Amino acid sequence: MASHQLTVPSLGGMTDLAVLHIAVKLGDVVNKDDTLIAIGSDLATLDIPAPMAGTVRSILLKVGDKVEQGSPMVVLDGDGSIGPVATEEKKPASPPPKPDSAPVQVSQAGESAPAKDDDIYAGPATRKLAREMGVDLANVAGSGPKNRVQKDDVKTFVKNRIENSPPRAALGIPAVPEIDFAQFGTVDIQPLTGLQKAIVANMQRAWLNVPHVTQWDDADITDLENFRDTLKSDMDRRGVKLSPLPFLFKAVAAALQAHPKFNASLHADGQRVVYKQYFHIGMAVDAPAGLMVPVLRDVDKKSVWELAAETAELAQKAKDRKLKPAEMQGACFTISSLGNIGGLGFTPIVNTPEVGILGVSKLTVKPVWNGSEFTPRKMLPLSLSYDHRAVNGGDAGRFFAMLNQLLGDIRRLVL
């Protein structure tokens, strides 16, 4: 029987987390996958399960404590087995991890063995150095055995970042002066929520880091809209509403497949480009609490009906604040549709490290010259913003042309 100190696992980049609930007390006997604590922010909550069976010997945090990856959590007495406590039979196989829970790091209490965190190998001293320097180890290439990240790797990473950063003078952004607005009239000052602070940080990071270019075009979706009209009874039968959005997802996935530069990210080391072989697309949702971007996975493999059901489900979850962290991660590209609200067009901000985002505005009927006369066509205003470090105007023009061709004649999606 040994004591195992459990620490908070990888949190997928989530920050500003606090303990919301402690699900165990001293002396409790827990089985593998029983929830130990719940942590969260204004964005989401996360249950942290026990990675093994055991008896709770000590609890190392309390409700309200700020936590991060590696924070000590609980000490469990046990033999490290994954089967139920006080049972001789072992489970034939461990159950799959719960989607809203995270795997836990374990080390023998008092021992400083290197921890394995997803694919990242690094010892405690390296992790401490990375934390102190604000480095996410997921971005650091390890030079040790089995790609273990060493202290020198962290230092080299920081050195490269400094050398490849713009000169300080270029970052001299003048501060906005503080103004006492009360001198002009009555004001009501409200604190920003955690979600609002996260949006502020994300927008500022994207705006300051990404040289944005936005291109505009109208897609002629007259035929798509006529086709959608023929599907009304199918929508009723299936109980699924089919707006133009799922067709846009399908067409964007096809355009991303044909134009890999748009399905890429610049590596954080500034030396490489990461081309993704999957097609996950984020969807901006105007939730009451603020802008949230759930992600539809493997859009290329799903039918328009499946995408319609999924967009509705994710939008509802966003509005109810029920999205899990994993549901907001991993997008290659984002679609931001204001079509149901209105407006002629807008310049969406790239959700970096993605390199492109499509803005969708309100469909209008416009007279279009067909060579001999003007005909009324249903035109969908689109704006494509991209990171000009990763994509040039020609790439964007070709991407846009293909997208419009697909939306103009969706039969091309099956070719």
| Catalytic residue list | 388
Q: Is residue 355 part of the contact set for ligand CAO (CB under 6 A)?
A: no
Quote the CA–CA distance of 329 and 227 in Å, as a whole number: 33
Q: Which of 61, 102, 245, 390 binds ligand CAO (CB under 6 A)?
A: 245
Q: Is residue 51 part of the contact set for ligand CAO (CB under 6 A)?
A: no
Q: Is residue 358 part of the contact set for ligand CAO (CB under 6 A)?
A: no
Output 359-363 pairs: Cβ under 8 A, ≥24 positions apart: 359/214, 359/383, 359/384, 359/385, 360/244, 360/245, 360/248, 360/335, 360/336, 362/338, 363/221, 363/225, 363/244, 363/339
Residue 288 CB, shortest distance to ligand CAO, in Å, is 11
Pick the closer one to ligand CAO by CB: 286 or 306: 286
Provide CB contacts within 8 A for 226, sequence distance 6+.
none
CB 381 within 8 A of CB 216: yes
Residue 360 CB, shortest distance to ligand CAO, in Å, is 5
Residue 339 CB, shortest distance to ligand CAO, in Å, is 2
**Cα separations in angstroms, 221 against 94, 191, 410:** 50, 43, 9
Query: What six digits make up the tokens of 261?
Result: 């530069």
Pick the closer one to ligand CAO by CB: 51 or 282: 282
Pick the closer one to ligand CAO by CB: 307 or 390: 307
Quote the CA–CA distance of 335 and 252 in Å, as a whole number: 9
Q: Is residue 334 part of the contact set for ligand CAO (CB under 6 A)?
A: no
Q: Is residue 337 part of the contact set for ligand CAO (CB under 6 A)?
A: yes
Q: Is residue 231 part of the contact set for ligand CAO (CB under 6 A)?
A: no
Pick the closer one to ligand CAO by CB: 69 or 336: 336
**Binding pattern to ligand CAO, positions 372-411, x when CB under 6 A?**
--------x-------------------------------
Closest CA to 115 of 31, 262, 4: 4
- The residues that bridge with 75 in the sheet, in sequence order, are 5, 58
Q: Supply the DSSP symbol for 100.
A: T
In one-letter notation, the amino acid at residue 87 is T
Dihedral pair phi/psi, residue 147, rounded to 5°? 60, 25
Q: Is residue 244 part of the contact set for ligand CAO (CB under 6 A)?
A: yes
Locus of tokens 């949006």: 199
Q: Is 336 helix (H, G, I), strand (E, B) or coil?
A: strand
Quote the CA–CA distance of 122 and 32 in Å, as a whole number: 25
**Binding pattern to ligand CAO, positions 155-194, x when CB under 6 A?**
----------------------------------------
Quote the CA–CA distance of 107 and 337 in Å, as a whole number: 47
Q: Is residue 307 part of the contact set for ligand CAO (CB under 6 A)?
A: no
Q: Is residue 78 part of the contact set for ligand CAO (CB under 6 A)?
A: no
Closest CA to 363 of 218, 159, 181, 167: 218
Q: Is residue 338 part of the contact set for ligand CAO (CB under 6 A)?
A: yes
Pick the closer one to ligand CAO by CB: 49 or 348: 348
By CB under 6 A, how many residues form the interface with ligand CAO?
20
Pick the closer one to ligand CAO by CB: 55 or 351: 351
Only segment of 34-42, 84-92, 102-110, 360-368 that touches ligand CAO (CB under 6 A): 360-368
Q: Is 334 helix (H, G, I), strand (E, B) or coil?
A: strand
Pick the closer one to ligand CAO by CB: 271 or 340: 340
Q: Is residue 360 part of the contact set for ligand CAO (CB under 6 A)?
A: yes
Residue 397 CB, shortest distance to ligand CAO, in Å, is 22
**Binding pattern to ligand CAO, positions 266-305, x when CB under 6 A?**
-----------------xxxx----x--------------
Provide CB contacts within 8 A for 11, sequence distance 6+.
17, 46, 68, 69, 102, 325
Q: Is 81 helix (H, G, I), strand (E, B) or coil?
A: coil
Q: Is residue 315 part of the contact set for ligand CAO (CB under 6 A)?
A: yes
Residue 302 CB, shortest distance to ligand CAO, in Å, is 15
Positions touching ligand CAO (CB under 6 A) are: 243-245, 283-286, 291, 311, 315, 336-340, 348, 360, 362-363, 380
